[in-house]
Amino acid sequence: MASQRQRAASGEEEEEEEEDSALGYYDDEDDDDLEAFSEAELGSEDGVLRFSDSLSGEVKPRILLMGLRRSGKSSIQKVVFHKMSPNETLFLESTNKICREDVSSSSFVSFQIWDFPGQIDFFDPTFDYEMIFRGTGALIFVIDSQDDYVEALSRLHLTVTRAYNVNPDINFEVFIHKVDGLSDDHKIEKQRDIHKRANDDLADASLERILLSFYLTSIYDHSIFEAFSKVVQKLIPQLPTLENLLNIFISNSGIEKAFLFDVVSKIYIATDSSPVDMQTYELSCDMIDVVIDISCIYGLANSEAGSPYDNESMAIIHLNNTTVMYLKEVTKFLAMVCFLRKESFGRKGLIDYNFHCFKKAIQEVFDVRLKVQQNRKLLSQRRWSKLTMTNGGVGNAH
């Protein structure tokens, strides 16, 4: 019953299911989708924006994780979205099916991650790669920097050119991964070499218009979260508005830097336009961890199951260099982390007032988004029922 309602609600979901069976991938998130649907439909919590409404009619951007075997694709997914500790990834088994994961049930960022097995020949004629690339927002190609990368580069070239022919709007992101084993000089040298070779290959094929972005990553530090943040940010249509709001907020509050974080994944979905330095980012991640850990241990009454993060969540940390870190809840999934001087923190009342205005503005941005999503949902519902009528499958749509 629920699944019939779900299907009727969105033609796109139906399309996805068709894709699922065509590709034979593993998806352990179906039940979560149903839960998310009933929650969204019933409007479970007043005043909480349903950013994670998985059946909103919006086509969720797809992020593909590709690369050679053992390059680290599954580890990246597990560490960023499942809080797996990096050491545990040593025991991960090789992926032998495409694994799809919906990153929308527990966090703000709403997309699907498809983890491809390294050995798969997705250019096999029986494999419908066009269908895969058509709905893709970003393609992350993982290259193991500790290994010989000649084969990886030719695979990257093949993948990118095929994908570009199907969908020129895909963002191509190259993770030069496992850089934890390399010295700083070596890292830069590898990046330069990979960058040059990959772009030369494209130039030789007269495909200079394909833009590749490169990131040095490792699951053993924050670089993987930072890189993923940038990949995800490119898929958020409201990003310029969010950045603008943050700029206005910090300039009126005497704040030096502000990040808007997705609490669950620790991906920052926006920051003001001043440059990001890795240390501030790492400190912000640590602060979120501290808040969640302390809340889990001491904040939940009678160790009941509940959310360690709610609208009361906030934290202030004074660093020994006269900097203050200030964390405040923005929505159920988002937190703002600010860096400011001790003197500026004296005007906390003003900061809190500005924050209140910022929060309201964010709410408005997402109200608009919600409306757009609802309209799309209606449209796709109509399209879907028309389609089922013409195919004589009216029964399925009800």
Ligand X SMILES: Nc1nc2c(ncn2[C@@H]2O[C@H](COP(=O)(O)OP(=O)(O)OP(=O)(O)O)[C@@H](O)[C@H]2O)c(=O)[nH]1
Token pair recorded at residue 282: 């790492």
Closer CB to ligand X, 75 or 331, in the complex: 75
- Binding part of the chain for ligand X, among 68-76, 101-109, 202-210, 386-394 by CB under 6 A, reads 68-76
Q: Hey, what are 10's tokens?
A: 């969105």
DSSP SS3 for 274? coil
> Is position 74 an interface residue for ligand X (rule: CB under 6 A)?
yes
The residue range among 91-99, 150-158, 292-300, 370-378 that interacts with ligand X, by the rule CB under 6 A, is 91-99
- The DSSP element (H or E) to which 222 belongs, if any, is none
- 172 alpha-carbon distance from chain centroid: 15
Residue among 95 and 271 whose Cβ is closer to ligand X: 95
Q: Which of 128, 180, 256, 286 binds ligand X (CB under 6 A)?
A: 180
Residue 242 burial (CB count, 10 A): 20
The amino acid present at 322, given as its one-letter code, is T
* 299 sits near ligand X (criterion: CB under 6 A): no
The reply to whether 19 sits near ligand X by the rule CB under 6 A is no
Name the pairing type of β-strands 267-271 and 111-115: unpaired
Give bridge partners of residue 369 from the DSSP assignment.
Answer: none
- Least Å from the CB of residue 172 to ligand X: 18
Q: Is 181 in the site for ligand X (CB under 6 A)?
A: yes
Three-state DSSP at 325 gives strand
Q: How far apart are CA 175 and CA 323, in angstroms?
A: 33
Is 131 a residue that touches ligand X (CB under 6 A)? no
The mark string for 196-215 relative to ligand X (x by CB under 6 A, - otherwise) is: --------------------
Among the candidate windows 38-46, 63-71, 151-159, 258-266, which touches ligand X by CB under 6 A? Answer: 63-71
Residue of 1, 42, 46, 90 interacting with ligand X (CB under 6 A)? 90
Q: What kind and span of H or E run contains 315?
A: strand 314-318
75 contacts ligand X (rule: CB under 6 A) = yes
Helix axis angle for 11-23 and 348-390, nearest 10°, is 80
Q: Are 109 and 103 in contact (CB under 8 A)?
A: yes
Position closest to ligand X via CB: 118
Could you list the residues that contact ligand X (CB under 6 A)?
67, 69-75, 89-90, 92, 94-95, 117-118, 177-178, 180-181, 218-220
